[in-house]
Amino acid sequence: MSLPSFCPYEEAADRQSPNRNLAPLTAAVDLAQQLWVGGCRLADLAAHYGTPLYVLDEATLRSSCQAYGKAMARHYPGEALVLYASKAHSSLAMAALMASEGLGLDVVSAGELLTGLAGGVDPQKMILHGNNKSVVELELAIDHGVTLVLDNWLELDLLEQLCHQRQQRVRLLIRFTPGIECHTHEYIRTGHLDSKFGFDPGELDMVLQRLARAPWAEVAGLHAHIGSQIFELQPHRDLAAVMVQAMGRARQLGHHPKDLNVGGGLGVRYVARDDPPAISTWVQAVCEALVAACEQQHQPLPRLLCEPGRSIVAPAGLTLYQVGSRKEIPGGRTYIAVDGGMSDNPRPITYQAPYTACLPQRCREAGTHTVTVAGKHCESGDVLLQNIALPPIRSGDLLAVLSTGAYNASMASNYNRIPRPAAVLVQDGQAVLVQRRETNQDLLRWDVLPEHLRQSDLAGIR
């Protein structure tokens, strides 16, 4: 078998940096033009588990985790910890896999925190984010010894009350906006000053001064994040200098910060024209900039934390659909509809995100027809792929959309009361279910029908 023709590294996938590939590392095409991933034929997975179906390649996931670990060991002379940003794809299986690779976890809700704990992640290697954490979420973090990323003044007040009541201390990273812009979608830029996340730089001194008088708080370090799906390296270099300066100020005000968390944001390849830096290149740029900033500002090397999410899980995933109806507009587009859409992948309608797709049962056929792949939802904007070249498509064909491991399952919804897909993890010819397919009955489970609206009571109203 050989690598599929849509892979950007024909016959030589970038195994050191999966984020630069369109297909999972184990993708291969047999002599019958059938696409296999993780030693499993995609057509067999679709037949057994149904469609839409999320498919995750375990080898690619592990390779991505190891790429970060090896690059950190190679380029950073101090201590480092990689935290998987679980918002990209949160599940028990994902948490357990990250823990097995030695990664920590970045969580943003009680649900993600509890998923991480249930998946076996060490709570001391977890941090809780959020710009409006609930009291329940704060209590969970305190009780389990999870580090909290302090985001705003209200949260500071709440933590002070809770820690006094519990007679407990809490470990904090202070999040601030570094004022660094990067070229990505405006919805996923977080480092510029006009952001809902973190303290403004002008507030940092006031926060540090107040916490210096707070025996319940341990200021363990600082956090900043500049955005997501970023291909540039310079903003990350600039971030290191800003954060080291802030850590120096924290020491002047009586704190002993050890951790410097630069967030994540490294992009991935969704279409052939995308050219993200390799994982090792990104890590090297961050590490060298941090070491240089510490030397220039006469500061000790901190423990370096980073939070990759998309770059770990996106290239490991693909989504299988079955093709249904077709509509040809004279002089216009040809629409091909699939049995999923914006409820299992909201990124195109939200961010105008592009993707690459293929027919997994006819991988080597040339893309001679330009079509637009639409979802089945009652929205004109429910379009997964705009003007993509594919072989002639028939109703019943399978369609594989690539690089869907991140922000697809985690952002999925029940719009139009459509059940969410199943997810399988593939490795060495074995597929294991990691998320059951929802059923129509599941959608009704949490609905409550008031007594006065039951059918027996409506006869008199009519």
Q: What are phi and psi of 218, to 5 degrees?
A: -110, 110
For residue 343, count other CB atoms closer than 10 A to its CB: 23
- Whether 456 has a pLDDT exceeding 80, the answer reads no
Handedness of CA 14, 20, 21, 25 (dihedral sign): positive
Question: Which CATH architecture group holds 59-313?
Answer: Alpha-Beta Barrel (3.20)
Greatest mean pLDDT among 10-19, 177-186, 188-197, 290-299 = 290-299
Give residue-wise pLDDT tens across range 420-435.
999 999 999 999 999 9
Q: What is the pLDDT of residue 227?
A: 85
Confidence of residue 460 (pLDDT cuts 50, 70, 90): low
Q: Which is the CATH superfamily of the domain at 18-56+316-444?
A: Lyase, Ornithine Decarboxylase; Chain A, domain 1 (2.40.37.10)
Parts of the chain belonging to CATH 3.20.20.10:
59-313
Give residue-wise pLDDT tens across range 279-338.
999 999 999 999 999 999 999 999 999 999 999 999 999 999 999 999 999 999 999 999
Contact 170, 188 (CB under 8 A): no
For residue 175, count other CB atoms closer than 10 A to its CB: 25
Confidence of residue 33 (pLDDT cuts 50, 70, 90): very high
Q: What is the pLDDT of residue 197?
A: 78
Buried b (16+ CB within 10 A) or exposed e, 217-255: bbbbbbbbbbbbbbbbbebbbbbbbbbbebbeebeeeeb
Which residues are the active-site residues?
378
Mean pLDDT in residue range 99-115: 98
93 vs 201, which has greater pLDDT?
Answer: 93
- Whether 445 has a pLDDT exceeding 50, the answer reads yes
Mean pLDDT in residue range 131-158: 97
Mean pLDDT in residue range 126-154: 97
Q: How far apart are CA 459 and CA 457, in angstroms?
A: 6
- Whether 387 has a pLDDT exceeding 70, the answer reads yes
| Opening angle at CA 379, ends 52 and 311, nearest 5 | 50
Q: What is the pLDDT of residue 300?
A: 96
Q: What is the pLDDT of residue 237?
A: 92
Q: What is the pLDDT of residue 181?
A: 62
Give residue-wise pLDDT tens across range 360-372.
999 999 999 999 9
- Per the rule left: phi > 0, alpha: psi between -120 and 50, beta: everything else, 221 is left
The CB-side HSE value for 394 (13 A sphere, CA atoms) comes to: 3
Give residue-wise pLDDT tens across range 79-104.
999 999 999 999 999 999 999 999 99
What is the rounded end-to-end Cα distance, in angstroms, of the chain?
A: 66
Give the type of residue at 226: I
Q: Calculate the alpha carbon distances from 331 to 328, 334, 382 in Å.
A: 9, 9, 21
- Whether 7 has a pLDDT exceeding 50, the answer reads no
Q: How far apart are CA 104 and CA 82, in angstroms?
A: 6
Q: Of 117-126, 231-240, 382-391, 392-401, which gets the smallest average pLDDT?
A: 231-240
Q: Of 16-25, 73-82, 102-111, 187-196, which gets the smallest average pLDDT?
A: 187-196
| Sequence-distant contacts of 229-232: CB under 8 A, at least 24 apart | 229/184, 229/185, 229/188, 229/265, 229/267, 229/268, 229/310, 230/182, 230/183, 230/184, 230/265, 230/266, 230/267, 231/183, 231/267, 231/274, 231/275, 231/276, 231/277, 232/182, 232/183
State percent of the chain over pLDDT 70.
93
Burial class (CB in 10 A: 0-12, 13-18, 19+), 39: middle
pTM metric for this prediction: 0.93
Q: What is the pLDDT of residue 228?
A: 85
Confidence of residue 458 (pLDDT cuts 50, 70, 90): low
SS3 438: coil
Q: Calculate the alpha carbon distances from 370 to 232, 310, 385, 391 in Å.
A: 32, 29, 11, 9
For the record, the structure tokens of 117 come out as 């704990």
Parts of the chain belonging to CATH 2.40.37.10:
18-56+316-444
Contact 393, 326 (CB under 8 A): yes
Contact 55, 320 (CB under 8 A): yes
- Whether 210 has a pLDDT exceeding 80, the answer reads yes
Q: What is the pLDDT of residue 15?
A: 78
Strands 80-85 and 303-306: parallel
SS3 237: helix
Helix H, strand E, coil C: the string for 110-128 is: HHHHHHHHHCCCCHHHEEE
Q: What are phi and psi of 202, to 5 degrees?
A: -70, -15
Burial class (CB in 10 A: 0-12, 13-18, 19+), 258: middle
Mean pLDDT in residue range 109-124: 98
State percent of the chain over pLDDT 90.
87
SS3 346: coil
- Whether 191 has a pLDDT exceeding 60, the answer reads no
- Whether 200 has a pLDDT exceeding 80, the answer reads yes
- Whether 438 has a pLDDT exceeding 80, the answer reads yes
Q: What is the pLDDT of residue 9?
A: 36
Q: Of 2-6, 187-191, 323-327, 413-417, which gets the smallest average pLDDT?
A: 187-191
Q: What is the pLDDT of residue 457?
A: 57
Q: What is the pLDDT of residue 4?
A: 47
Give residue-wise pLDDT tens across range 211-254.
999 999 999 999 999 988 999 999 899 999 999 999 999 999 99
The CB-side HSE value for 257 (13 A sphere, CA atoms) comes to: 30
Tell me the helix, strand and coil percentages in the chain, rounded to 5.
35, 25, 45
